[in-house]
Amino acid sequence: MVSMKELAASGNFSCPKKYLNQRDQPLEVPMECVRKLCEEIDKDYDDRLDLEEIQNYVQQKQLPIDESTVTKMFEDAILGRGFVNET
Protein backbone atom coordinates (compact mmCIF):
# COMPACT_ATOMS: atom_id res chain seq x y z
CA MET A 1 0.00 0.00 0.00
CA VAL A 2 1.29 3.43 -0.92
CA SER A 3 1.08 6.20 1.68
CA MET A 4 -0.45 9.59 0.87
CA LYS A 5 3.00 11.23 1.03
CA GLU A 6 4.50 8.68 -1.36
CA LEU A 7 1.56 9.12 -3.72
CA ALA A 8 2.01 12.90 -3.70
CA ALA A 9 5.74 12.59 -4.31
CA SER A 10 5.19 10.26 -7.27
CA GLY A 11 3.14 12.88 -9.13
CA ASN A 12 0.28 10.41 -9.70
CA PHE A 13 -2.10 12.19 -7.36
CA SER A 14 -5.01 13.81 -9.20
CA CYS A 15 -7.30 14.72 -6.27
CA PRO A 16 -7.43 18.01 -4.34
CA LYS A 17 -4.31 18.73 -2.28
CA LYS A 18 -6.34 18.86 0.96
CA TYR A 19 -6.40 15.06 0.93
CA LEU A 20 -2.60 14.91 1.26
CA ASN A 21 -2.91 15.80 4.95
CA GLN A 22 -5.18 12.88 5.72
CA ARG A 23 -3.83 10.22 7.98
CA ASP A 24 -2.94 6.90 6.36
CA GLN A 25 -5.13 4.02 7.47
CA PRO A 26 -3.30 1.67 9.87
CA LEU A 27 -2.44 -1.71 8.39
CA GLU A 28 -2.79 -3.73 11.57
CA VAL A 29 -5.86 -5.41 13.02
CA PRO A 30 -6.82 -3.97 16.42
CA MET A 31 -5.84 -6.28 19.30
CA GLU A 32 -9.40 -6.33 20.64
CA CYS A 33 -10.60 -7.83 17.32
CA VAL A 34 -7.89 -10.49 17.49
CA ARG A 35 -8.89 -11.29 21.09
CA LYS A 36 -12.56 -11.66 20.21
CA LEU A 37 -11.80 -13.92 17.25
CA CYS A 38 -9.53 -16.13 19.36
CA GLU A 39 -12.21 -16.40 22.05
CA GLU A 40 -14.73 -17.44 19.40
CA ILE A 41 -12.42 -20.13 17.96
CA ASP A 42 -11.14 -21.51 21.30
CA LYS A 43 -13.82 -24.09 22.14
CA ASP A 44 -11.97 -25.86 24.97
CA TYR A 45 -11.22 -22.55 26.75
CA ASP A 46 -7.53 -23.27 27.29
CA ASP A 47 -6.45 -19.88 25.87
CA ARG A 48 -4.68 -21.63 23.00
CA LEU A 49 -5.77 -22.28 19.45
CA ASP A 50 -4.93 -25.62 17.93
CA LEU A 51 -5.16 -26.59 14.28
CA GLU A 52 -8.33 -28.63 14.77
CA GLU A 53 -10.17 -25.71 16.42
CA ILE A 54 -9.24 -23.41 13.56
CA GLN A 55 -10.26 -25.95 10.93
CA ASN A 56 -13.58 -26.50 12.71
CA TYR A 57 -14.20 -22.75 12.82
CA VAL A 58 -13.46 -22.35 9.11
CA GLN A 59 -15.81 -25.23 8.31
CA GLN A 60 -18.56 -24.00 10.68
CA LYS A 61 -18.50 -20.48 9.25
CA GLN A 62 -18.18 -21.86 5.69
CA LEU A 63 -15.17 -19.66 4.98
CA PRO A 64 -13.75 -20.07 1.46
CA ILE A 65 -10.40 -21.44 2.67
CA ASP A 66 -9.42 -25.02 1.97
CA GLU A 67 -8.01 -27.24 4.70
CA SER A 68 -4.49 -27.36 3.24
CA THR A 69 -4.30 -23.54 3.28
CA VAL A 70 -5.43 -23.46 6.91
CA THR A 71 -2.76 -26.03 7.78
CA LYS A 72 -0.05 -24.07 5.97
CA MET A 73 -1.09 -20.82 7.68
CA PHE A 74 -1.08 -22.52 11.10
CA GLU A 75 2.38 -24.04 10.50
CA ASP A 76 3.66 -20.65 9.34
CA ALA A 77 2.24 -18.98 12.48
CA ILE A 78 3.98 -21.42 14.85
CA LEU A 79 7.26 -21.44 12.92
CA GLY A 80 10.00 -19.98 15.06
CA ARG A 81 7.92 -19.96 18.23
CA GLY A 82 9.94 -20.82 21.29
CA PHE A 83 7.29 -23.06 22.80
CA VAL A 84 4.42 -24.81 21.06
CA ASN A 85 2.49 -27.77 22.43
CA GLU A 86 1.74 -30.38 19.84
CA THR A 87 -1.04 -32.79 20.77
Mean pLDDT rounded to a whole number for the chain: 83
**What confidence tier does 14 reach under pLDDT thresholds 50, 70, 90?**
low
State mean pLDDT over 1-15.
64
- 7, pLDDT greater than 70: no
SS3 44: coil
**What confidence tier does 29 reach under pLDDT thresholds 50, 70, 90?**
confident
- 46, pLDDT greater than 60: yes
Cβ pair 58, 40 in contact under 8 A: no
State mean pLDDT over 19-35.
78
Output the CA torsion 36→79→81→1 (10° steps). Answer: -60
The whole model's pTM is what? 0.62
